[in-house]
Amino acid sequence: MPSNPAKLKVIWLQGITCNGNTHSFLNDPALGTLLETIEFIHHPLLPCQKTLKDLVKKVPKSDVLIFEGAYSAPFERAGVEMRTLLPALAHKAKHIISMGSCASFGGIFKENDPEHISGIVFDKENGSGPLKAMQEKVITLSGCPAHPKWLSFVIDMISAGREILVDEFRRPKELYAYLVHNGCLRNEYFEWKVDSERFGTKEGCLFYAQGCQGPYTHGSCNKILWNDVSSKTRSGTPCVGCTEPAFPKRDLFTTKTYMSIPSEMPLGIPKRSYLALAGAAKSFHIKRLEERLIDDHA
Ligand code: SF4
């Protein structure tokens, strides 16, 4: 396949993965537009120039190396251990993207082997992954999976030669400075302490009883919607905090409380402030917020 000099040359390499980020990427409604700006030297599923065996024989230069899945040093691709293959490709890449929470922090796979599985730069919160020495060229796109538009944003910024401002985990601030709580349609229920009664309803907040992690989780899920239409909390499912290094947390869908007060305060909110506001809000009953939004008879 002839190379197009105007397109970014991308290698997509997989560690230990469920393919979730590849599926997310392939489900981007704007995938066609993205593919006009990049071409794959290698992708595990899409048409590309080289097989993994080709990459192993002669490691090529690339504009962007995208790594999906968790890192384990002895894990092999095309007969080569990841401790050799990943640094070799990384040294020849101008930019590196850790795609998804496993590549970023270890994620779900780390649960099986906490000692030996990590992300490529971070091991949970610790910057002790195999590419820590070259982290300046790594962009973290955590999420289980990462939103395909987050990848498009980074690719567009790289194509345009623009600087990407990042947080302490090298996540783009433009995408991760927000909390999932920001933009959630249930904010008014949160403010007035009105619970959601069950999953899948349009009414109520999922924080007080169903363990919603939105007030602790950095991500733009309620700003850049999934499939352009929805998000977990908009569809009535609690946020599970999948963009954070601590993911996966235990006891999902449960809010730990102490004397009916959530044991973990929303990020940055002092307990005294929370209690003062919660006490006042709970003393009012807002009839509109206790009614069904659309179908009162279902
Ligand atoms: S459902 Fe979650 S994200 Fe939405 S307002 Fe309640 S706590 Fe915030």
> What is the residue-wise DSSP string for 161-208?
T----B-TTS-BHHHHSSBTTTT-TTHHHHHTTPBP-STT-SSSBSHH
Ligand 1 atom index nearest CA of 222: 3
Ligand 1 atom index nearest CA of 239: 2
243, 118, 260: which is closest to 179 by C-alpha? 243
Ligand 1, pocket-test mutation among 232, 239, 265, most atoms within 8 A of CB:
239
Which pLDDT value is given to residue 4?
74
Q: Could you tell me if the CB of 207 is within 6 A of ligand 1?
A: yes
Q: In 10 A of CB 126, how many CB atoms?
A: 14
Q: Could you tell me if the CB of 214 is within 6 A of ligand 1?
A: yes
Residues with pLDDT less than 70, the chain: 1-3, 5, 295-298
Using the 8-state DSSP alphabet, how is residue 33 labeled? H
Structural domains of the chain in order of their starting residue, each with its CATH number: 8-174 (3.40.50.700), 178-285 (4.10.480.10)
188, 191, 203: which is closest to 277 by C-alpha? 191
Q: Could you tell me if the CB of 237 is within 6 A of ligand 1?
A: no
* Closest CA to ligand 1's atom 6: 205
Confirm whether residue 48 is marked as ligand binding. Answer: no
Gap between the terminal Cα atoms of the chain: 56
Spatial separation of the C-alpha atoms in residues 35 and 57, rounded to whole Å: 26
Which pLDDT value is given to residue 75?
97
Is the CB of residue 79 less than 8 Å from the CB of residue 26? no
Which pLDDT value is given to residue 153?
96
Which pLDDT value is given to residue 237?
96
Using the 8-state DSSP alphabet, how is residue 159 labeled? H
Ligand 1 atom index nearest CA of 205: 6
